[in-house]
Structure 1
Amino acid sequence: MPPTAKTSAPQRKTAPAPESAPAIEAAIADLETGSAVWSHLTLGQRARLLERVRATVVASAEEWALVSARTKGLDAAHPLVGEEWLGSPYGALVALDGYIATLDKLAKGASPLDGIALEEGPEGRVRVQAFPANATDKLLLSGFTGEVWLEPGVTAAQAVREAGLGQLSPAQPGGVGLVLGAGNQSSIPVLDVLYELVASNRVALLKVNPTQDELVPLFERALAPLIELGLLRIVTGGGDVGDYLTQHPGIDHVHITGAVSTFEAIVWGPSAGSGAAQTARRRAEGKPRLHKPITAELGGVSPIIVVPGKWTDADLAFQAEHAATMRLYNSGHNCIAAQIVVVSSDWEQRDAFLAALRDAYDRMPARPVWYPRADEKLAAAASDYPDARWNAERDRALVEIGTGGDAAAIETTEYFAPVLGVALLPGLGQEFLDTAVAHANDRLAGNLGANVMIDPVTEKALGGGFLRAIARLRYGSIAINTWTAFAYLNASLTWGGFPGATLDDVGSGIGVVHNTLLLDHVERSVVRGPFRPFPRSLSALGGRGIVSVLAKPPWFASSRTAAEVSEGFTRFQMDHDWVRFSRTILQSLRA
């Protein structure tokens, strides 16, 4: 897919100019010059530039993690501060290493897929074995794997030939892209800027979300090599600035990570107030307000499908903590936070699992509910489900929908807050899995990510039916016995909604990001983890399941050593100091 050049569509007048308009005009002018600079850099020079960015990110990493934590109400001693090590510098470093490796391969005339296994998948799909990419990945996250599935009909030869995206025609400029940054995770805007530059040869004007204004000086230091060459400019401001920029004739492309409502306001106009009637006319006539290409990642209602099997008490407790983590990580302020657990009403261990889930949800460490308007979302959940189970502070809700109960609100409203639902569906084995897949596809809002929990004995019994069910699950990321956030953190995988979205029916977004292998024709990413942690995972040595040396993944909110291990993982990504990392491994065994 070639980079997008300047649009030939007629340009409309820009929105009313904000006070910062003179600085914005200067920034766009700098970026137009920077676009020419980028188009004259060789692939090798681009790789060396990203190595310089890596060094400045390393120098900023500790401050980045701690400032990001502070903006969320966490001090340096909080047990969950490790989330900000993983969700900030770690993700950026993984992406930079991946892009550097890809650019080095292309500079030598090779494909980014050289040395990477390609396997056949269901219904003619090619499965790219993207993670682990090296021996270090295998050690750090033993037992975890990740594949990128390409669209049906794309051949392995085509995948190899077309991998590289914009770097296959590096001299062709992609213009100036506007990145409307997310406000919940501070690595998101950085990763989006890098993808614009590498995948599409677009220099970037980053407008940060107001929740991250405090991080702007840090971003400017961490990304200084890009700023020095005019490849990046950063601006702040509210909705008026964003509106002005999306309509600006100097912007060639828009990328947003945020809410569906924000996307629709950009594309069609306001849905309420004096402009609502004009917006409705635009939609009816199919004439969007936005006259330039847009890509987006927009979240949704993510399920956890619990496939019934014979689980031990330890399995029930571990997977219940897993489910609670998927909701409560970052106080539920994640586009990929799980929102509804789908459980078989016929499972003989249903009640035991739900009891373990209630216990795990209650015991997770307390933390601020910090995202703007989260109190309104919690109030909406309380109104939607007056019988929900709340904690003492009433900032964490568990909604159990009985058989035949009304799950419409929790299945169609992305609460973006600590609200977790449980829905019951009938069946066992393949029947349940097929029913749950259809339910997720047809009833839940969005299609960003879905999680599946299944024990190895049950998966083996399902045979090929299990993978066929995964193929029918229409989500951009699918996690089997892990969390889809694992796909987000490892940028060799792709991140975005399921293909097929349109401006009028956007789902969880258009296009993908991350994707350090620069693959074209992507359908989804599928990640796997071990059903059981160390040492119980050693039972898989007999051929059942996956072996892991992690006693508990560092992103588990219940991990006693999550802060130390997450920081240790990041520092190892920074400097590959094996002596220090050995201490991190010992800490992980105490999780």
Structure 2
Amino acid sequence: MRTGMNTVNDHPPSLDTLVEELRRGEETWGSMSLSARRDLLAVLSEALQQHAQEWVDVACSIKRLSPTSQLAGEEWISGPYAVLSGVGALSATLAALEGGRSPLDGFHLSQAPDDRVAVRVLPHTLFDRLLLNGFTAEVWSKPGVTADRLRKAAGLGQRTPKETGGIGLVLGAGNIFSIAPLDTLYELFAHNRVVLLKLNPITDPLLPVLNKVFAPFIELGLLRIVTGGVEFGAAAVAHPGIGHVHITGSVTSHDVIVFGPGEEGRARQTRGEVLLDKPITSELGGVSPTIVVPGNWSKRDLAFQAEHIVTQKLHNNGYNCIASQVLVLSSDWAQKDDFLKALRKAFTDAVARPAYYPGSDDRCAAAVRDHPGTAKQVADGSRVLLEEIPVGDDIAFAEEYFAPVLAVTSLPGQGRDFLDRAAAFANDRLSGTLGANVVAHPRTIRALGADFTRFIADLRYGTVAVNAWTGVGYLTARATWGAFPGHTLQDAQSGIGIVHNGLLLDGTERTVVHGPFRPFPRSVLTGQFTLSPRPPWFVTNRTAAVTGRRLAAFAGRPGWAKLPGIFASALRG
């Protein structure tokens, strides 16, 4: 085991020592003013900007990508950019509280369906309007939670900074490298918990970089970063000095922690006998759908949205908790065959990449084996497209592949009839509730009117994205991220609780994202008047690495002078 105290140490601190150091750090945390906490975030931001290139180089090494490849853009955007954006949002929230204001002051609030309140978190600044023109994001409250309650509760643990929350264990993810740092910051600032962060073994090479980035937190005893295997993780979960556990991973790992391993653990789960003696929150992925609402599309619309859906699947080679797994089409859509033709081309043409995540090739092989006659594997064997899966008890609907496997299924209907069937299928037949994507022509959305709004409200997912990928919700620092509320330890689905949430809101239910149906300049030429070109997270974006690096630099230190370089790179993508 190595720790954040010692990058290389023949005699690392024991678990008891780490917990004792964090206990003293908790006292320090409770004595720190909001201003001092903001200063810590500022130092972290500077350190991350200084070491961002090192971070991305290590990330590319882990994923066996060339640092000069366009795919390196994924590591810039889902790594340093995401963390720097999160730090900026938290800093603004602390500044509002320090000034005696609600973090929601200056944000637009409106009514959402069924007695909900919508908080518009994107765009918030003029920079947002320029850099992500055409994209919006709202955080919806739970039904019955009023705007006044949202304002009064915003800030969570930072409203009472002296009331600390003990020591939390964060079990980091191994796929997206901003997850563990952002989860750590959420524990510290939302819940006032100091943190023992155990890295996923895949991300162990990032330990030296994370030590540098989080140095001020480590020096004050607010954070310890450790590596280790399953045995160390189990010991940390069971340690009496640790009062809370947060995991990003699979539902299988969650259930082992809560109920124990093997047959005995499964028997306990069936009986509802919890073995874990402390609270746990989680983000556990699931089977994410992309629902295509039938309409009248141009050939360029078909090609662009095929690229969009392939991005939703193949970003990070499918090793994303919200990678689209089931594409839902209308069997009555006149353009269904044309769209499938465009999808096959985009799926086949996508840049090949190594299967770095353990077990990926085995899961792809199992998908082919389980779907004889419908599985289409690209020539290099790296990706699997399942056409068409009948609606039924298929494994593709029940288990997350966490691999480059995309299944296609169809439901009958047009208009509201199709929307009702699609919502019921996604809610009741697919495992998990983390994220759902919807693709619909603007004319179709306008024609459906209130029926389309009802459809979005009916989808029981923690993030719903319309003409955007739910990954945009992940990257929006002030949006909430997590499963739809209501899951239990016995049936955790996509998890319990939320993270990110830079406004530190309470009483939230979901995030709803909207994006442009077409990229600039075609959007303007067809009357949509949005200025975003092909997004830099698209797997087809040729300048993603340059744009991602420039976006990360902007997130760390926003300024007008940086915009021309970002726009120039983005437009070439």
User: Is this a same-fold pair by TM over 0.5?
Assistant: yes
User: Superposition pairs for residues 130-529 of structure 1, below 5 Å?
Assistant: 130-271=121-262, 276=263, 278-387=264-373, 388-401=375-388, 404=390, 408-529=394-515
* Aligned AA (2:547): V
Runs of at least 5 residues in structure 2 that lack an aligned partner in the other structure: 1-9
Report Cα offsets for 1:69-109 as digits up to 9, x if no partner.
Answer: 11100021222110000011000000000000000000111
Partner of 1:11: none
- Partner SS, residue 114 of structure 2: helix
Amino acid at match of 1:197: L
Amino acid at match of 1:396: R
Partner of 2:7: none
Task: Tell me the number of residue pairs that the alignment of Structure 1 and Structure 2 aligns.
Answer: 563
Answer yes or no: is the 8 Å Cα contact 1:407–1:423 preserved in 2.
no
Aligned-partner Cα distance in 2 for 1:242–1:66:
27
CA distance in 1, matches of 2:130, 2:400: 36
After superposition, the Cα gap between the structure-2 partners of 1:583 and 1:22, relative to the gap in structure 1 and judged at 3 Å, is: closer
Aligned mates of 2:428, 2:290 — CA distance in 1 = 15
- Alignment equivalent of 1:115, drawn from 106, 113, 124: 106
**Structure 2 SS opposite 1:431:** helix
Contact (CA 8 Å) 1:488, 1:495: kept in 2 or not? yes
Distance of 1:407 and 1:75 partners within structure 2: 40
User: Aligned equivalents of 1:573 and 1:32: distance in 2?
Assistant: 33
In structure 1, C-alpha distance between the alignment counterparts of 2:100 and 2:458, rounded to whole Å: 37
Please report the TM-score for the alignment, with normalisation by the length of structure 2: 0.96
Whether contact under 8 Å (2:56, 2:67) holds in the other structure is no
Distance 1:178 1:406 in 2: 39
Secondary structure of 1:589 counterpart: helix
Cα deviation, residue 60, structure 1:
1.1
Residue 382 of structure 2 aligns to a residue whose secondary structure is coil
Q: Is the 8 A contact 2:201 2:229 kept in 1?
A: yes
- Is the CA contact (8 Å cut-off) linking 2:85 and 2:556 kept in structure 1? no
The one-letter code of the counterpart of 1:170 is P
Give CA deviations for 1:332-365 in whole Å, capped at 9, x if unaligned: 0110100011000000000000000000001111
| 2:435–2:470 Cα contact (<8 Å) kept | yes
| TM-score, length of structure 1 as denominator length | 0.93
2:436 touches 2:463 (CA, 8 Å); kept in 1? yes
Post-superposition Cα deviations, 1:511-548, rounded to whole Å, max 9, x if no partner, equal: 0000010110110001110001101111465xxx4x33
Q: Distance in 1 between matches of 2:437 and 2:276?
A: 34
RMSD over aligned Cα, in angstroms? 1.4
Secondary structure, aligned partner of 1:401: coil
1:103 matched to which residue of 2? 94
Measured against aligned partners, the alpha-carbon deviations of 1:385-423 in whole angstroms (never above 9, x if no partner) come to 123111112120000125x46561111111100000110
Say yes or no: does 1:563 pair with 2:563.
Answer: no
Counterpart CA distance in 1 for 2:15 and 2:193 is: 17
The letter for the 2-side match of 1:213 is: D
Q: Which amino acid aligns with 1:451?
A: N
The answer to whether the 8 A contact 1:316-1:356 is kept is yes
Which residue identity does 2:182 align to in structure 1?
L
Describe the superposition over 1:3-53 as per-residue Cα deviations: whole angstroms up to 9, x where unpaired. Answer: xxxxxxxxxxxxxxxx98952222111110111111111112211211111
- What's the CA shift for 1:551? 1.9
1:535 and 2:531 aligned = no
Q: Residue 124 of structure 1 aligns with which residue? A: 115
Equivalents in 2 of 1:250, 1:379: separation in Å?
43
C-alpha distance in 2, partners of 1:499/1:71?
34
CA distance in 1, matches of 2:56, 2:126: 26
Aligned-pair CA distance for 1:136: 1.1
In the alignment, what sits opposite 1:552?
Answer: 534
Q: CA, structure 1 residues 540+30, in 2 after alignment: closer, same or farther (shift >3 Å)?
A: farther
1:583 corresponding residue in structure 2: 565
Task: Provide the identity percentage.
Answer: 49
State how far apart, in whole Å, the 1-side matches of 2:94 and 2:526 are. Answer: 38
In 2, Cα distance between the equivalents of 1:285 and 1:267?
13
1:420-445 superposed Cα distances (whole Å, 9 cap, x missing partner): 01101000111111110110000001
SS in structure 1 opposite 2:290?
strand
Corresponding position of 1:76: 67
AA of the residue aligned to 1:342: V
